[in-house]
Structure 1
């Protein structure tokens, strides 16, 4: 029987040529539902708001296709992302090509810890799967079981990868709780509310 947890071929990050503008962000965040209309407020948005939206959009699109979390159903993915989008955002923002996300409460320590680790794409995908394959956030029993298997598998991958460097292994695992240090509410109010207004960001996340 083919092991469905076999490691897929590692792929590099996709290249995105254009930084999203408020107008393009509105088209990306629109269509949440027929009863909710999107209204951005250009007078309140700054380049940092636009960059934060770009990071979140690309992060969610990327993890929906990765080797573990990407195998879950769309509904299961949405259940998880609605709860942990902020932690995923911090992970991705820490490794953005330049230090553009600033003045985020309680984020400096997490950013510094993550950057000091200098995780490569292989490490990052493992951490993403450990972070996102949360069986406790999925109501469907089969999908929850699959998520648990995926998380266990990637924990084992990390253990084997750093079997001779237990200090680094511990530092990577300890980085995961730090991703939640800036709360979702703090990030929403500071970086996303000027773009999406009163729309709950969880409704935006599941449409990406």
Structure 2
């Protein structure tokens, strides 16, 4: 086991920003108003299973297409950057086209376990030990479960202004993380193409 507290915290923060369950409270409340019964435990467990499976099998899927994980991480850094811009500036770039549904769709997928979180877990594989990522996923899904169980209470406590501020703050954090992810994996690609630069640098 290669448990690292700092890696767990870092991975948890990244996933928290990407999943953005707090920012999704308005969507969840809207689904509930439309008569959709949300089973918090079912939604959280499905999302947890999907993310863990993708964490282990995602790299094999990439290998089928001849893509290494650091290249995927670079591509993922662009997605994270766009999501950070959306959150920080309050604009919509990536369209949400999820079908209507309740616990599984669209809550578990694609709201929690969607393209952004898939990209993130594989990108994190290039930086952190897998066991630390799994713990970060579990911690985030426990938080997702708590929020789904108490959306009305969370909205009342934070208020519209509080949710707005949280989105801005985590948007900026996500921007910084995406830049770090890009730079570190570009360096890996450069070193693999030009090994002599590793010693020179």
Give me the TM-score of the superposition, normalised by structure 2: 0.34
Hey, which of these two has a bigger chunk of helix by percent?
2
Question: Bigger relative contact order, structure 1 or 2, given CA contacts below 8 A and separation 6+?
Answer: 2
When normalised by structure 1's length, the TM-score is 0.33
